[in-house]
Amino acid sequence: MTQSMKTVLRSDELSCPSCVPKIEKALNALPGVEKATVRFNTGKIEVEHDPSQSSVEALVDAVRSTGYEARPSAF
């Protein structure tokens, strides 16, 4: 059984609501990602994932691949 964890990323660059599905799609495409939720109004990106399959760095890279910067956040 894999251990799922929740990682919170923050982005200050979410300029339009259309970026939300783009980022969610990129994150959900990663192995081990169960759910990705982007909160446009707060810039918070919550990802439930298996860290042995997709690291926090992989999550950040996936967001970066859509043209936005994100960083791990405690909350």
Query: How do residues 62-72 score in pLDDT, each as one tens digit?
Result: 999 999 999 99
How many Å apart are CA 70 and CA 1, to the nearest integer?
29
How many Å apart are CA 49 and CA 14, to the nearest integer?
22
Task: Name the architecture of domain 15-73.
Answer: 2-Layer Sandwich (3.30)
**Contact predicate 1/66, CB 8 Å:** no
Tokens describing residue 61: 């890279």
pTM exceeding the 0.85 threshold for the entire prediction: yes
Least confident interval from 8-17, 19-28, 55-64 = 8-17
Assess whether pLDDT exceeds 70 at residue 13: yes
Where in the chain are the domains? 15-73
pLDDT category, 3, cuts 50, 70, 90?
confident
